[in-house]
Amino acid sequence: MTEDRNIYLKMKSLEAARKILLEAFPTADPPAAETIPVIDAVHRVLAEPVYANLSSPNFHAAAMDGIAVAAAVTFGASETEPKQLTVGQDAHYVNTGHVMPADTDSVIMIENIHPLDDRTLEIAAPAFPWQHVRRMGEDIVATELVFPRYYKITPYCLGALISAGAPRVSVIKKPSVFIQPTGSELVDFRKIPGAGLLPGQVLESNAPMLGAMVLECGCSYVKNDIIEDDFEKITNAVQNAAAGDFDMIFICGGSSAGSHDFTKKVIAELGDVLVHGVTIMPGKPVIIGRINGKPAFGIPGYPVSAIISFEQLVRPLILAMLRQPDVEETEIPVIPTRKLPSKLGIEEFLRVKLGDVGGNIVATPLPRGAGCITSFTEADGIIRIPAHVEGIAENKPMAATLLRPLAHIKNTLVAVGSHDNTLDVIADLIRTKSSRISLSSSHVGSMGGLMAIKKKLAHMAGTHLLSPEDGTYNISYLQKYLPETPLRLVHLVDREQGLIIRRENPKNIRGIEDLARRDVTFINRQAGSGTRVLLDYKLGRLGLDPADIIGYSSEEFTHMAVAVAVLGGTADAGLGIYAAAKALNLDFIPVITESYDLVIPAEEWDTEKIRLLMDIIQSDTFKSRVAALGGYHTETTGKLLWENC
């Protein structure tokens, strides 16, 4: 087979793609239905209206403990002229829920009765008709409508249906989805080879993830085994599925423009391609097709692209099939912590972390790559950057769609600044101490953290900025850049900073001076990070020109990302902390022991979130867990180093 490549010549906007999709697959009327036991109907959609077979309650029932009476016999009773009633004649003892005796229409509560003897009672106030009585049909009247067709049954509805005498109900059949993962590089996560994954192999996660999303929408699904990049095999599997009882088909992977991306060709071979390419990011390569009258989607292989494609195109169609409205989204105004560039002509779905700082909800962007599934698992919201703009200016209010409850976001401790592995320990320990408070840390470098504090965009910032003048850490930078901001500087840890290199040091690297060798490739941290400041300080002391270092302009935002670059062979060395090297079993050449501190605005100092933070970092549990990471010292952890308030 010749290597044909797909080319996006006729991409559609998201709005146009949705219109094409919903017009191509109008909802049938009536939808296919099935009758099931009412006990199994929760989260299902009624195909027919439900009418009550019984009234609820189906008798007049006492609503209080006391005596049942005919209200008329109590008229005239008062404090000055109480009335006497005879038990068994004009007063009958009842408990809550009892059938009201014949010829009674009211209940007097037990505490309002004064017994004179076993047969005689006295009351000091009259009753009125139907006082403290649940009348027959008070809740449901036989033959009346309980729920209309296309109503989605909740657990609360179950009680009403059973009370109305509806043991079985007619519901819309669950749409059935066939999911076909494709790709020669894919490995079933249940069948990881004993030697681990080989270079180029990828665990197949999209099909299980999409299956779970399908279930959440009210469908069922079948996931087929992985098929390698083979046009004939994929075609045969999809053809069989389209001829069967499935209502929808997903082909996972192979929707892009590579020479072995066969999804478009498969759909065109078996049916029609309606859309190939939508002007959204992530999710651009998505395909909408029709096979045997059924919707067939080419779902992009990158996980975030798959999620966005599903939520923006597939889910609305499924919910239309189930006669349900699309998911109602909650939007709130947020302030980005930094400028958000974007591409003209592409609508971007940017995942962000959110937190309430000084009454404003601030948004810090997460990694934008379509393959970064953690950018969704860590996200609190999504900012949609329109196709007609090139980005969002820093501090410009924007709307964000919430992925978590607003209460969760308001209880988030926002940390912006330098990356350190101990922040992950803090995040975990916060959750063990509080079910309400959580930590969100964003890694923008030490200087970025100070600027976030200055602009009131964070509750705290991690920093390790070395002063070239006297070799001290952080205080001189606070005095220079935040002189008017009342602050406290708290010591978190001392940590070993040095060169992360490959196991057994194949390039025989001995120190910073070797970074200028022509056979050594370096991976750097971003400008403004404390690690970058340290590197430039050391290069200056050695008289080395950064331009002579291969890879000086290649940047990562975390110590772990630097370690991964070395592990993966992208670089021979990178400057980072010992804990990152240890985590990935890499070698390490110490350069300096540095102070990593927390900058906390004075106005946040007495808040619940900061008090919890201080309790945790001063605890033995925190210190022992940090020690296990390697390369840390906690002798003065939690000490107040400096304040200007």
Q: Is 1's pLDDT higher than 60?
A: no
- Is the pLDDT assigned to residue 183 strictly greater than 50? yes
Query: What SS3 state is found at 315?
Result: helix
Inform me whether the pLDDT recorded for 344 exceeds 80.
Answer: yes
pLDDT at 5 over 80: no
Q: Is the pLDDT of residue 372 over 70?
A: yes
Going by pLDDT thresholds of 50, 70 and 90, the confidence category of residue 582 is very high
Query: In this model, does residue 276 exceed pLDDT 50?
Result: yes
Q: Mean pLDDT, to the nearest integer, of 598-605? A: 97
Mean pLDDT for the stretch of residues 35-47: 97
In this prediction, residue 6 carries a pLDDT of 57
Alpha helix segments (H runs only) across 367-458? 374-377, 406-410, 422-433, 446-454
CATH of span 61-134: 2.170.190.11
How many percent of the chain have pLDDT more than 90? Answer: 85
SS3 per-residue string spanning 578-604: HHHHHHCCCEEEEEEEEEEEEEEEHHH
Q: What is the longest distance spanned by two Cα atoms in the chain?
A: 111
d(CA 178, CA 369): 27
Mean pLDDT of 240-261: 85
* CATH architecture assignment, domain 330-404: Beta Barrel (2.40)
Closest of 277, 409, 282, 419 to residue 353, by C-alpha: 409
Q: Is pLDDT above 80 for 4?
A: no
Which CATH topology does 14-27+175-189+202-321 take? Molybdenum Cofactor Biosythetic Enzyme; Chain A (3.40.980)
Q: Where does the pLDDT of residue 257 fall: very low under 50, low under 70, confident under 90, or very high at 90 and above?
A: low
Percent of the chain, pLDDT > 70?
97
Q: Mean pLDDT, the chain, as a whole number? A: 93
Cα–Cα distance, 351 to 328 (Å, whole number): 18
Q: Give the start-to-end residue ranges of the domains of the chain.
A: 14-27+175-189+202-321, 33-56+138-172, 61-134, 330-404, 451-643
* Calculated CA dihedral for residues 604, 605, 610, 613, nearest 10 degrees: 140
- pLDDT for residue 261: 78
> What is the model's pLDDT at position 368?
81
Q: Tens of pLDDT along 464-476?
A: 999 988 889 999 9
- Is 316:22 a contact under the CB 8 Å cutoff? yes
Identify the weakest region by mean pLDDT among 57-66, 74-83, 362-371.
Answer: 362-371
Residues 77-101: what's their mean pLDDT? 94
Rounded to an integer, what is the distance from CA 372 to the centroid of its chain? 14
* Model confidence band, residue 2 (pLDDT cutoffs 50, 70, 90): very low
- Predicted confidence (pLDDT) per residue in 185-231, tens digit: 999 999 888 778 888 899 999 999 999 999 999 999 999 999 999 99
- Segment 2-17 mean pLDDT: 73
Pairing of strands 640-643, 487-501: antiparallel
Position 373 pLDDT exceeds 70: yes
For domain 33-56+138-172, the CATH architecture is Alpha-Beta Complex (3.90)
Rounded to whole angstroms, how far apart are CA atoms 508 and 512? 12
The correct answer on CATH 3.30.2320.80 for the domain covering 451-643 is: no
Secondary structure, 3-state, 3-18? CCCCCCCCCECHHHHH
Structure confidence by residue, pLDDT tens digits, 546-571: 999 999 999 998 999 999 999 999 99
Task: For strands 398-402 and 412-417, give the pairing.
Answer: unpaired
Mean pLDDT of 493-502: 97
Please name the residues in contact with 319: beta carbons below 8 A apart, sequence gap of 6 or more. Answer: 217, 325, 326, 327
CA distance 93 to 69: 9
Contacts for 108 with CB less than 8 Å, ≥ 6 apart: 66, 67, 69, 74, 123, 127, 131, 132
